[in-house]
Amino acid sequence: MTTIKINELKKELKQLDNKELMQLVVELYKLNKDTKQFLSNKYFGEEAVRGQFEQTQKIIEDQFFPERGHPKMKLREAKSAISSYKKMTGDETGWLDLMLYYVELGTEFTVAYGDMDEKFYYSMETVYDRVVTECSKNEALAEHFKDRLYMVLWNSQGVGWGYHDVIGDIYFNGGFEEVEE
């Protein structure tokens, strides 16, 4: 598969007039749902970003607690939706919120349904670690998420495979302290 390099693309785009350039963007819009969402976010701003945030939350929720049927447990699909949200919006707070939501639901799921496999816990731990790491770099984000981060630690008590211990290590190594009840 041969693909055009960015420099070559820029060279070709410079040769197009406004009408041709507009037609190309419209074709891309019709061709790809990610492009459609990206352009919506860019031109409709907060409203479109909020819609994408809610859609991503629903994708995550459906992996653990769907409205109908059994849990899908396609963790990669949930994480991919979270990644796509960040790429499309640049909204770091929303991105961290979605990652933490993923861990919250994963923790709730394992508490409700029992022990999962090592791969499941590793996924929860790595995403939680990413949120804590990002929050430890930014005091405003740390303040915003500290209670929810602590609740994951609290809710993980009694979960197998050392999950609670790892979550605790991540939480306290990230500079967070125990929250007074």
pLDDT in tens, 20-33: 878 877 777 777 77
Compute the distance between CA of residue 24 and CA of residue 132 in angstroms, rounded to an integer: 41
Instruction: Provide the pLDDT confidence category of residue 53 given band limits of 50, 70 and 90.
Output: very high
Residue spans of the domains in the chain: they are: 45-173
- Taking residues 127-143, report their average pLDDT: 97
| pLDDT for 38 beyond 90 | no
pLDDT number for residue 41? 66
Report the predicted TM-score, pTM, of the whole model to 2 decimal places.
0.82
> Alpha helices, DSSP H only, in the chain?
6-14, 18-31, 33-44, 46-64, 75-89, 92-113, 118-136, 139-155, 163-173
Instruction: Provide the pLDDT confidence category of residue 126 given band limits of 50, 70 and 90.
Output: very high
| pLDDT for 145 beyond 80 | yes
Q: Which amino acid is at 105?
A: L
Compute the distance between CA of residue 32 and CA of residue 34 in angstroms, rounded to an integer: 5
Lowest model confidence (mean pLDDT) among 1-10, 13-22, 35-44, 163-172: 35-44
pLDDT number for residue 181? 59
- Taking residues 97-126, report their average pLDDT: 96
The mean predicted confidence, pLDDT, of the chain is 90
SS3 (DSSP) at 111: helix
pLDDT number for residue 118? 92
pLDDT number for residue 52? 92
9: which residues sit within 8 A by CB, 6+ positions away? none
181: which residues sit within 8 A by CB, 6+ positions away? none
Compute the distance between CA of residue 151 and CA of residue 171 in angstroms, rounded to an integer: 11
- Taking residues 78-103, report their average pLDDT: 96
Mutual orientation of helices 139-155 and 163-173 as an angle, nearest 10°? 160
